[in-house]
Amino acid sequence: MEKNWYVVHTYSGYENKVKTNLEKRLDSMGMQDKIFRVMVPMEEEIEHKDGKKKTVMRKVFPGYVLVEMIMTDDSWYVVRNTPGVTGFVGSAGAGSKPTPLLPDEVQTILQQMGVEEVRTVVDFALGESVKVIEGPFENFVGEIEGVDGDREKLKVLVNMFGRETPVELDFGQVEKL
The number of folded domains in the chain is 2
Considering the domain architecture, whether residues 105 and 36 belong to the same structural domain is answered as yes
Q: What is the pLDDT of residues 113-161, one digit of tens each?
A: 776 544 445 578 899 999 999 888 999 999 999 988 777 789 999 998 8
Query: What is the chain's mean pLDDT, rounded?
Result: 86
Q: Is the pLDDT of residue 82 over 90?
A: yes
Bridge partners of 168, per DSSP, are 155
* Least confident range of 17-21, 40-44, 78-82: 40-44
Considering the domain architecture, whether residues 108 and 165 belong to the same structural domain is answered as no
Q: Is the pLDDT of residue 37 over 70?
A: yes
Give the integer Cα–Cα distance in Å for 84 and 64.
Answer: 11
Give the integer Cα–Cα distance in Å for 98 and 71.
Answer: 9
Considering the domain architecture, whether residues 83 and 32 belong to the same structural domain is answered as yes
CA 152 to chain CA centroid, nearest Å: 13
Give the integer Cα–Cα distance in Å for 140 and 25.
Answer: 44
Considering the domain architecture, whether residues 19 and 102 belong to the same structural domain is answered as yes
Considering the domain architecture, whether residues 133 and 47 belong to the same structural domain is answered as no
By residue range, what is the domain housing residue 59? Answer: 3-113
CA 25 to chain CA centroid, nearest Å: 18
- 124 domain-assigned: no
- The CATH code of the domain that includes 138 is 2.30.30.30
Of 58, 57, 66, 60, the closest CA to residue 9 belongs to 66
Considering the domain architecture, whether residues 36 and 76 belong to the same structural domain is answered as yes
- 81 domain-assigned: yes
- The CATH code of the domain that includes 98 is 3.30.70.940
Question: Can you list the alpha helix ranges (DSSP code H) found in the chain?
Answer: 15-28, 73-80, 103-113
Q: pTM of the predicted model, to two decimals?
A: 0.60
Mapping DSSP to helix (H, G, I), strand (E, B) and coil, where does residue 1 land?
coil
Q: Could you tell me which residue, 1 or 145, shows the higher pLDDT?
A: 145
φ, ψ of residue 125 in degrees (nearest 5): -125, 150
Contact predicate 38/16, CB 8 Å: no
Mapping DSSP to helix (H, G, I), strand (E, B) and coil, where does residue 87 land?
strand
Q: What is the pLDDT of residues 42-73, one digit of tens each?
A: 887 887 777 788 888 888 889 999 999 999 99
Contact predicate 84/23, CB 8 Å: no
Q: What's the first-to-final CA gap in the chain, in angstroms? A: 32
